[in-house]
Structure 1
Amino acid sequence: MAPPEIALKKRRTRADYIYHQVHRTRWFDNDMYAHLNNTVYPALFDSIINTYLITHCGMDPFTINNAPSPSPSSSSSDPTKASQVGIMVSSYCDYFASVSFPDVLDLGLRVTKLGSSSVTYEVGVFKQGEDEVKVVGGYTHVFVARGTMRPTREGMETVVRRGLEGLLVKDGEGRAKL
């Protein structure tokens, strides 16, 4: 018998996720068994999470990577831009049903835990037009100062925290309002 948390994940539907992104599978994504290779899922999780961080949390890898580094404990001088980076410290993936090329997928994103400097994301993978979850996975980021790669005394920058709060599920199961 599956542990209770696995059974809860298996019952997830699209409505349990706040932010969504469409992904078209590629022939290259299939493995020798004609389903999406297990290594593709972490890339899907990374894509939806980083899209959200860029569009809703002030993360701008395109300009910050070319800007001088702020001091180790300072944040960006622009309050709408984040200067910290998120380091992945753990990940997981639970598989319930397979998908394959040429499926079009709907990825759903939510936050299950928001700490002072860390966040745990959950991503649901659905076939377009279906409500039953195929895969549930995610990871935990710790936000650190770019110069030291260590968490700051102040914790996560306000612009990042505000964006992530919009994805937070309050009770671990129910959906928050964006």
Structure 2
Amino acid sequence: MNSDYVHWESVPTRWKDNDVYGHVNNVVHYSLMDTVINEWMIRTAGFDPLRSPAIALCVESHCEYKAEVSFPDTIRVGLRIGKLGRSSVRWEVGLVRGSDGTPIAEGHFVHVFVDRESRRPVEITGPVRAAMEGLVAA
């Protein structure tokens, strides 16, 4: 799984991430995927979610759980783009247990870029698109 993703972030688990069953709760997986995607768009692609005339809306998400992870551990989050369309992007995300490299989840998010005011789809252009092209899976 490690070589399948273009960009990687390490995120430490927190005490509050564990649920009553003693492992990281499933909602944390989605939160990590969403956070790494948006952090990449802001820091790498220069996307400004507060001021950009276009915003990215999640229209689909999925997560397949493969193994548990618990606090204290680090989760390695891999990111790539499976499909880059005119106004949409399918982000693919892999989560790996930091302590031993075990794959713990794979998922995807589909964002549609829309005009902030009209909420109508708009083309992904400029530096954001250029940066995204670098994440497209081979």
| TM-score, length basis structure 1 | 0.73
CA contact (8 A) 1:88 1:139 kept: yes
Q: 1:55: Cα distance to partner?
A: 1.2
Structure 2 residue 137 is matched with structure 1 residue 149 = no
Match of 2:104 among 126, 134, 139: 134
User: 1:56 Cα shift?
Assistant: 1.8
Match of 2:22 in 1: 34
The letter for the 1-side match of 2:10 is V
Counterpart residue number, 1:75: none
Post-superposition CA distance 1:132-176 (Å, at most 9, x none): 311001210000111111113xx1122221111111013xxxxxx
Q: Kindly name which structure, 1 or 2, has the bigger radius of gyration based on alpha carbons.
A: 1
Cα offsets for 1:58-83 (capped at 9, x unmatched): 21235x1xxxxxxxxxxxxxxxxx53
2:47 alignment partner AA: M
Aligned equivalents of 2:35, 2:127: Cα separation in 1: 20
Indicate the RMSD between aligned Cα atoms, in angstroms.
Answer: 1.3
**What is the TM-score normalised by the length of structure 2?**
0.93
2:39 aligns to what?
51
Check if 1:164 corresponds to 2:128: no
Bigger proportion of residues as strand = 2
Gaps of 5+ in 1: 1-12, 65-81, 171-178
Letter in structure 2 aligned against 1:89: V
Residue 14 of structure 1: aligned partner? 2
Deviations 1:93-152 (A, max 9, x none): 001111011111111101001110000011111111533311001210000111111113
Question: 1:84·1:157 contact (CA, 8 Å) conserved in 2?
Answer: no
SS at match of 1:99: coil
Say how many residue pairs are matched.
Answer: 138
CA distance in 1, matches of 2:117, 2:90: 23
**What are the superposed Cα offsets for residues 12-47 of structure 1, whole Å, 9 maximum, x if unpaired?**
x21111111111101111111101101111110011
Q: Distance in 1 between matches of 2:19 and 2:10?
A: 21
Kept in 1: contact 2:92–2:108 (CA 8 A): yes
Q: Indicate how the Cα distance of structure 1 residues 102 and 159 shifts in structure 2: closer, same or farther if over 3 A, else same.
A: same
- Opposite residue 137 of structure 2, the aligned amino acid is V
Identical columns (%): 41
